[in-house]
Amino acid sequence: MATDKTRTPDFETTAEPPEIETLVVGFTEYGLAGLTAVDYLVDQLSMTQVGHLEAGGPPMITPFENGVPRHHTRVYAHADASLGVVISERFVPIQTANSFANAVDALYDELAPSNLTVLSGVPVAHGPEDHVPFYIATEDYRDRYLADTDIRSMGTGFLDGVTAELVARGIDDDKRPVGVFTTPAHPQAPDAAAAIRLVDALARTHSIEVDTEPLEAFAATVEAQYRALAERIETAEEESTPDDRMYM
């Protein structure tokens, strides 16, 4: 195993992953809705870790729980649900979005799923009627997974960071349907209600059976950990991201 932490990041699979239909990604972002959603999927479905991200630049963190450290970005799989999950507890700065997306692309090629789905909360002014999931998706993803649902499309706006990289690469790639389920998120960490909406959207569109009722209790158990992480994210975003995001 290489030890040069400045080399291009890539995923190392440490166990033989099963065949999967869907690869879901959740990043450390505003409100931690996407991160909480994928973390919940891993916990609720008792998914098996099959890999982790090797290398990568700052900001570097090493999470731990009950004194046991773990890699900040990990890959899980569940054969019966035909589901793979990438959970990233490290904030991905704008300047490293391209290399991180390259690593996800290589993982996608290795696991050979039929679609890539990103779960993400967004900071947007909203009313109670907007407490629903929305989608942003390539044409092939819409045709395959969204044609028979009542999930609404997100209006005019733009994506940024690693999510933007992944979606842009799927626009002209007929072999890689890419979709984002997003929902307005609040700054408290984690926004369990937003995470529930994301998990529910995934379950409805991809025929994944997962109970969302325990998510509120689950979120409470990780609140202290993710609150500290949210403070770290806020500081990093202020330093690296222009304050001009817009979703409508």
Convert the pLDDT of each residue in 101-123 to its tens digit: 999 999 999 999 999 999 998 87
- Token pair of 245 as six digits: 């995001």
Q: Is the pLDDT of residue 47 over 90?
A: yes
**pLDDT tens per residue across span 175-185:** 899 999 999 88
* Domains in the chain, number: 1
Q: Is residue 246 part of a domain?
A: no
Mean per-residue pLDDT, 118-129: 75
Question: Among 54-58, 93-97, 165-169, which range has the highest average pLDDT?
Answer: 165-169
Nearest to 124 by CA among 237, 247, 31, 28: 247
Q: Are 76 and 84 in contact (CB under 8 A)?
A: yes
Choose the weakest-confidence range: 41-45, 86-90, 207-211, 244-248: 244-248
Report pLDDT for 232: 73
Torsion of CA 5, 240, 166, 127, to 10 degrees: 140
* 1 belongs to a structural domain: no
Q: What is the pTM of this model?
A: 0.83
The 8-class DSSP code of residue 55 comes to -
- Supply the range of the domain harboring residue 221: 10-240
> Does residue 101 lie within any of the structural domains?
yes
Would residue 245 count as lying in a domain? no
CATH of the domain at 139: 3.40.50.10900
178 found inside a domain: yes
